[in-house]
């Protein structure tokens, strides 16, 4: 742990001790104040299990992570003990999932069936500021953005140990994607509005792409040739030629777009527009918006699709999930509304 992480962790622990010590003797137990490391940064996350039976969701303003049974629409569990949960990703076999927390400075790995930490390598240290995550196809390597130290750490999931710490970024947050062949890692930098390209064989930065405006989510096409990025500062989606490393065009969408999710067939991009409570649907062939779906509650980057591409799930601010029928481009159901979570 470097000096920055050590000092921050000690400061957080000291604050918690002081809060506990300030309680008068014999006082009733109270819930301690939520003390965040980077709580001014807000984001949400939605992960769909490979068998499409389970959804795990979080919002950084809430210290809990919610697990839904998508077949019944019921809450399977509420995972507590987080502070600012940032990103969720399932292991390729679906037996476990990872949750990063920037205030705790960890990535926890939990069993999908029991919702308990794994017996081994269940807590991976990533340092305060741990944010976006990307998992290799075989599940052996987890890449973790750290917006505080401006690094990306490659963790070995079997041992939980860091195998490389890559420097040279500028506040990498949630946006991080591997190329389809796993050879490149694309990392968004909130400062400087750029995407950094990392060679995953050498763990070295090999280039960058600039020209964004408050960059948020990114996605990469299956052929590895095109990258889409949400520009919340200019209300559009940037289209990037990866080989040329430049923005070749933009597509206007709603206000304050955060999402840039590609459908499984690569034909459409869905953008969650935070300020409009809408999702824009972009035709990749024409680079035109072909539908605007209303009825969401502050949708951000948390948009996922079923493998057959018939359904999209969009996370709302209250951690309910809107189920979108893609054929009709409309919300057909809301999975586990906020009241159900509160009553769990």
What pLDDT does 34 receive? 74
- Please check whether residue 130 lies inside any domain of the structure: no
Q: 């509160």: which residue's tokens?
A: 342
Nearest Cα residue to 152 out of 164, 141, 140: 164
- Please check whether residue 247 lies inside any domain of the structure: yes
- Please check whether residue 37 lies inside any domain of the structure: no
208 vs 176, 197, 205, 301, 313, CA distance in Å?
A: 13, 6, 8, 22, 31
- Please check whether residue 290 lies inside any domain of the structure: yes
Where is 261: in which H helix or E strand?
A: strand 261-262
- Please check whether residue 105 lies inside any domain of the structure: no
What pLDDT does 214 receive? 97
- Judged by DSSP in three states, 341 sits in helix
Nearest Cα residue to 150 out of 174, 177, 171, 132: 171
Q: Which residues of the chain have pLDDT under 70?
A: 1-33, 337-344
- Please check whether residue 317 lies inside any domain of the structure: yes
- Please check whether residue 174 lies inside any domain of the structure: no
What pLDDT does 174 receive? 93
What pLDDT does 39 receive? 87
Nearest Cα residue to 79 out of 106, 40, 112, 31: 112
12 phi/psi in degrees, rounded to 5: -65, -45
Domain that holds residue 258: 211-344
Kindly state the tokens that stand for 22.
């300030």
- Whole-model pTM? 0.89
How do residues 182-220 score in pLDDT, each as one tens digit?
A: 999 999 999 999 999 999 999 999 999 999 999 999 999
Q: Is 5 left (phi over 0), alpha (psi -120 to 50) or beta?
A: alpha
- Look at the chain and report how many structural domains it folds into: 1
- Please check whether residue 282 lies inside any domain of the structure: yes
Spatial neighbors of 142 by CB under 8 A, at least 6 apart, are: 89, 98, 107, 124, 133, 134, 135, 136, 154, 155, 157
Q: Rounded to 5 degrees, what angle do the CA atoms 132, 61, 113 make?
A: 65
CATH of the domain at 248: 2.130.10.10
- Judged by DSSP in three states, 126 sits in coil
- How far apart are the C-alpha atoms of 88 and 100, rounded to whole Å? 7
| Under 8 Å between Cβ of 126 and 144 | yes
């Amino acid at each position: 742990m470097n000096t920055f992480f050590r000092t921050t962790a000690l400061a957080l622990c000291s604050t918690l001790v002081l809060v506990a010590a300030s309680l008068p003797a014999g006082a009733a137990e109270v819930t301690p104040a939520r003390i965040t490391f980077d709580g001014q940064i807000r984001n949400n996350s939605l992960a769909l299990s490979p068998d499409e039976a389970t959804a795990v969701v979080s919002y950084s303003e809430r210290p809990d992570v919610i697990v839904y049974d998508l077949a019944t629409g019921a809450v399977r569990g509420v995972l507590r003990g987080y502070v600012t949960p940032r990103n969720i990703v399932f292991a390729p076999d679906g037996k476990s999932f990872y949750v990063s927390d920037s205030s705790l400075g960890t990535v926890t790995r939990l069993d999908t069936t029991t919702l308990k930490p794994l017996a081994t390598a269940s807590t991976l240290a990533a340092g305060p500021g741990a944010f976006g995550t990307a998992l290799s196809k075989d599940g052996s390597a987890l890449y973790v953005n750290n917006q505080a130290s401006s690094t990306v750490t490659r963790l070995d999931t079997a041992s939980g140990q860091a195998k490389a710490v890559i420097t040279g970024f500028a506040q990498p947050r949630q946006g991080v994607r591997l190329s389809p062949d796993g050879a490149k890692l694309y990392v968004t930098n909130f400062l400087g509005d750029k995407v950094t390209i990392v060679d995953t064989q050498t763990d070295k930065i090999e280039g960058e792409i600039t020209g964004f405006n408050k960059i948020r989510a990114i996605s990469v096409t299956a052929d590895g040739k095109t990258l889409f990025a949400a520009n919340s500062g200019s209300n559009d989606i940037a289209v990037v030629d990866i080989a040329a490393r430049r923005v070749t065009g933009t597509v206007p969408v709603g206000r304050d777009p955060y999402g840039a999710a590609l459908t499984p067939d690569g034909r459409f991009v869905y953008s969650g527009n935070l300020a409009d409570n809408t999702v824009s649907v972009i035709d990749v062939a024409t680079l035109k918006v072909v539908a605007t779906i209303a009825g969401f509650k502050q949708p951000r980057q948390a948009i996922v699709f079923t493998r057959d591409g018939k359904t999209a799930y969009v996370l709302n601010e209250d951690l309910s999930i809107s189920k979108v029928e893609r054929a009709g481009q409309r919300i057909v159901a809301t999975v586990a509304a906020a009241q159900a979570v509160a009553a769990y």
